[in-house]
Amino acid sequence: MTTPFSRTVLTALFCLFAFFFGAFVQERPAGITRDTIAHAEQLIGLTFTDAKRDSMLQSLDELRANYDSLRKVPLPNSVAPALYFNPMPVNFRFDKAAPPMALSQQPRVDLPKNRDDLAFYSVRELAVLIRTKKVSSLELTRFFLERLKKYDAKLLCVVSLTEARALEQAVRADRELAAGTYRGVLHGIPYGLKDLFAVKGTKTTWGSVPYKDQTIDEDATVYKKLDAAGAVLVAKFTLGELAQGDVWFGGMTRNPWNLEQGSSGSSAGSAAAVSAGLVPFAIGTETLGSIVSPSTRCGVTGLRPTFGRVSRHGAMALSWSMDKIGPICRTVEDCAIVFDAIRGSDGLDKTVVDAPFAYDGTAPLKTFKVGYLKSAFEQPSPTASFDSLALVKLRALGAELVPIELPTLPIQAMRIILVAEAAAAFDELTRSGRDSLMVRQHRGAWPNTFRQSRFIPAVEYLQANRVRTRLIEEMNTVMANIDVFIAPSFVGNQLTLTNLTGHPCVVVPNGFAQNGSPVSISFIGKLYGEAATLAVAKHYQDATDFHKRHPKLP
């Protein structure tokens, strides 16, 4: 029970508290209230009491001020987070000493009666012609430059020709060969780069309107390694804007098999150009299917290496923990040749591991333990008949196929890892409003994805990566008793899953649908197991002729 005096004191204290609290509320920046928090709770699937909301108000104001401070620090796309993804399971080891790459026996190669047929020669075949001086690098470079000029209007696959540079590199290659210097299989071979790789003296547009005049004054490590191998850069190829799809600021890159159809993405131009015989090989990138998908659509062969095999220095970042660089070629062995040239550390990309690459193109198929993704082959799909015939072919070749199943964790839910990292990579684009300049503006396009990804809580991003750790360990168990497994390229969640875990994949042509469109099959290997994956895929490809068929362009 209170006295009149005590009631007076309590009233005074209450009024004093109300004065200061009222002043505090008046000074609070408009926006963050208990109702704001209550609405935000709906986005994250949690519910707090009013008392708990009150206790958060001041801290949320402080956090917002901290965000403003961080946004004042310049962060170009090339700056990676101080956190690096490591795909290795616990106690993972690989043999650091291994023999060098051994290619299969190369038959005699002669110039074709019809010079246009050179467009579809493999890297190895062209290399023989150059080494034996049946054709010069300069002749070959001019040949492919003319094809690029002739067919780009139909395919929209070229962002920029690098003609002057290419002719200089070709002359150098011929001069070196005449002097007795041969750099290897790629010596004098023309190729193209996806236009998210920086090369001094060229535009690097990332396929997107806000960056279409961008130049970056450095050379990507991949370009430097290919230059050291003697390869000749003839073009920089299209990619869907910021590595999504096949639509870029110049239009939609076309599928050479069907000019009414896009070439898929995001390595759209690289796959289309190889398919159409505009270059012998090209470099693509994959975060969530950007080598596998366009290689399938265009009927070519692609290698997505293990995460951390090829330096991404000088390449546009989309997802620091998922981006991978690999070759798109005519044959599996061409992929092995190009991969061997571009792999390895450079001291600049801290995720790169110097694992061995002991590819042997002569190793018998029975050397390898091959699995198959049983449930995916049993599932109805548009490619089911082609997929099942691949199993029949492998068994006929002597493979003893072991049924496997992949982990059942929530794979699609982990896509927030990619989109959160992508939103961070292009944070300045979103905040500046220049995202409105991009061509694609629908709900599933990058501008909207970047915006909505800002509402992914940091806690959930980290939780997704913790689930990813479990996924890596469970995949290690799946792969324990096999070297490689075969899977339909787009049935189930294997494409997303193996991109999250960082496993390598070789995708090869596997026939043609009734409408004439190519289909594919995928071979997935152990971490850093590109050698075995390529060797098994080569056995399959050598037993088929799908990779030898080419589109007929008007």
Among 139, 307, 162, residue whose Cα is nearest residue 226: 162
CA distance 293 to 299: 10
* Whole-angstrom distance, CA of residue 114 vs CA of residue 118: 8
* Tokens encoding 442: 């629908």
The residues, ordered by sequence, that sit 6+ positions from 199 with a Cβ below 8 Å of its Cβ are 162, 193, 219, 220, 223, 233, 236
Q: Mark whether 6 is an active-site residue.
A: no
Cβ-contact 365, 396 below 8 angstroms: no
Please pick, among 137, 290, 321, 489, the residue that the annotation labels catalytic: 290
Give residues with Cβ within 8 angstroms of 540, minimum separation 6: 390, 393, 394, 397, 508, 521, 523
Q: Which residue in 122, 136, 194, 275 is the catalytic one?
A: 194
| Alpha-carbon torsion angle 265, 281, 542, 137, nearest 10 | 170
Q: Is 225 a catalytic residue?
A: no
Is residue 335 within 8 Å of residue 525, measured between CB atoms? no
- Please indicate whether residue 194 is annotated as part of the active site: yes
What is the H or E stretch that residue 511 is in?
strand 505-512
Could you please report the per-residue DSSP string of 50-114?
HHHHHHHHHHHHHHHHHHHHHHTS---TTPPPS-----PPTT----S--PPPBPPPPPP----SS
Active-site annotation holder among 137, 208, 266, 319 = 266
CB 349 within 8 Å of CB 311: yes
d(CA 138, CA 172): 9
- Are 411 and 472 a contacting pair, CB within 8 Å? no
Rounded to the nearest 10 degrees, what angle do helices 458-478 and 415-425 cross at?
130
What is the β-pairing status of strands 370-373 and 402-404? parallel
Alpha-carbon 491 to chain mean position: 19
Residue positions annotated with a catalytic role = 194, 266, 290
